Structure 1
Amino acid sequence: MIPKSLPLIALAGALALPGQAAAKSGDLQVKILATLVAPDGKLKDVKLDAIGLPAGAQTKADDNVIPTIAIEYFVADHISIETIAGVTQHDVVGRGALAGAGLVSDAKIVPATLTLKYHFGQEDGIQPYVGAGPSYFIFIDEKPGAGAVALGATRQKMNDALGFALQAGVDIPLNDKGLSVTLDAKRYFMRPTARWLAGTTEVLRTRHKLDPWVISAGVGFRF
């Protein structure tokens, strides 16, 4: 028979990791992460339609997993600023009346983000944190999908967009030398505009709810 207290004992043992001191002003932390980028991509508004979108047309962006790097500097005890580096690539496909139609192909995004973070937790223990800050999505080298080409579009462009990100996560120390495991979640709020052209003539302009979840896991080193 398994004692009822065993799960609590196991949990306590799992958390009894080799400690490291809480971050101090002037510390620098670098994180290597695997990151899931899961955007929405929902069509919010049609601003120009010269190609005749069918009634009930809707859109969805696909997910992607990418490597990212986070660099974090502690401006005060428990307070840091963090930026991330990475490039993610997505397609936008139709839903509803446009189900299965490819609208945007291979849109590459640089999610330039800067968050201000506050770190909780006790000395020598796990360190949860929350953060928030601005983000600027830079779109690179996107193309019209096969469905958009069939509707007459020959070029496609996503406008770069300014948005906002909320963040929460935890750093779990692995030793007293600055090595840790990190888990991180961000929710972005972003409303980019998409344009399709036939030659040099704009034939469709839409606004989208991008709003990706960005979920990361990896290792960090503080020094």
Structure 2
Amino acid sequence: MKKLITAALPLAFAAAALAPAPALAGSAEGKLQVKVLGTGVLPDGKIVEVKKDPLGLTTGAQTKANDNYVPTLAVEYFLTPNISAETICCFTQHHVSGVGALAPATNIVDHVLVLPATLTLKYHLPMGGGIKPYVGAGPSMFLIFGEKPGSSITGLGVTKVKMSNEVGFALQAGVDIPVNDKGLGVSIDAKKYFQDTTAHFYAGNAEVLTTKHSLDPWVVSAGLAYRF
């Protein structure tokens, strides 16, 4: 959480500096809201299915993906005073390491760059003082780029790894807290994704291992919101 708050602070100051711009006259009842957030991406990464393993490499093996902390931009459009649609933009980078029988393998897949394309429909519960808790849900797709075989498996002859882009689902909850009546506020948000990917490992042109992984990250954010 300390890392998340640290990541959010410079973004919050940047949003505050932009807030008074005349072209973006703020309003607590505006149709559009932009959020600048510090975000923690906390994935799982465990193997849930072995689809192809001719050499028996995965017996007793398990994997995990590391956490990461990144800046995030969220854009939200209010369809009614209490119903909105929101999408987010961020890139997050991870690597996959081993646990259990694979614990010595500290770098199985390296430089996994993920764009979590997400669209949620949200319901906001109006409360006193303008505070608005909300819940939401919607589809997601993790677009994965740049994945490479890590040092723990290149010595075994693995030359390439490819991770699939798959459709998933996200649940969301949070709260928007107004700072003033000009559209500026503080936002705290949490999403739970239900998202899989399939990893294909190659030695030359031959696919030597195929494993399905549960990513299922928690994505927690805090920062400033500006509504206009």
- TM-score of the aligned structures, taking structure 1 as reference length: 0.87
- In 2, the alpha carbon distance for the partners of 1:57 and 1:91 equals 17
Match of 1:80? 84
**Are 1:170 and 2:175 matched, yes or no?**
yes
Is 1:120 the counterpart of 2:125 in the alignment? yes
Partner of 1:146: 151
Tell me if structure 1 keeps the 8 A contact 2:39–2:220: yes
Q: How far apart, in 1, do the equivalents of 2:142 and 2:74 lie?
A: 16
| Residue-by-residue CA offset, 1:1-34 (whole Å, 9 max, x unaligned) | xxxxxxxxxxxxxxxxxxx98646xx10000000
Q: Which runs of 5+ in 2 are unaligned?
A: 1-25
Which residue of the other structure, out of 111, 136, 143, is the alignment partner of 2:141?
Answer: 136
Instruction: Give the whole-Å Cα distance in 1 for the aligned partners of 2:170 and 2:53.
Output: 31
State the distance in 2 between where 1:51 and 1:144 align: 18
**Equivalent residues of 2:28, 2:181 under 8 A apart:** no
**One-letter code aligned to 1:79:** I
Residue 99 of structure 2 aligns with which residue? Answer: 95
Deviation at 1:128, TM superposition (A): 0.3
Report the AA paired with residue 70 of structure 1: A
Amino acid at match of 2:73: I
1:28 to 8, 16, 32: 32
Would you say how many aligned residue pairs link Structure 1 and Structure 2? 202
CA shift, 1:123, in A, is 5.4
User: 2: CA distance between counterparts of 1:99 and 1:62?
Assistant: 14
Q: Deviations over 1:15-62 (max 9, x none)?
A: xxxxx98646xx100000000000000111111113431521000000
Structure 2: distance between partners of 1:139 and 1:198? 21
**Alignment RMSD, CA only?**
1.5
Report the residue type matching 1:53 in the other structure. Answer: L
Is the counterpart of residue 218 in structure 1 residue 223 in structure 2? yes
Counterpart of 1:46 (choices 50, 64, 69) is: 50
Alignment of 1:184-203 (within 5 A): 184-203=189-208
CA distance in 1, matches of 2:150, 2:54: 17
Instruction: List runs of 5+ in structure 1 lacking aligned partners.
Output: 1-19
1:123-164 deviations in whole A, cap 9, x for unaligned?
542110000000011000100111121222110110001100
Give, as a single letter, the amino acid of the residue that structure 2 aligns with 1:68. Answer: T
1:7 is aligned to none
| Offset, 1:121 | 2.3
Counterpart residue number, 2:112: 107
Distance 1:80 1:186 in 2: 16
Asked if 2 retains the 8 angstrom alpha-carbon contact of 1:22 and 1:78, the reply is no
Contact 2:28 2:227 (C-alpha < 8 Å) held by counterparts: no
Contact 1:121 1:128 in 2 (8 A): yes
In structure 2, distance between residues paired with 1:36 and 1:170: 17
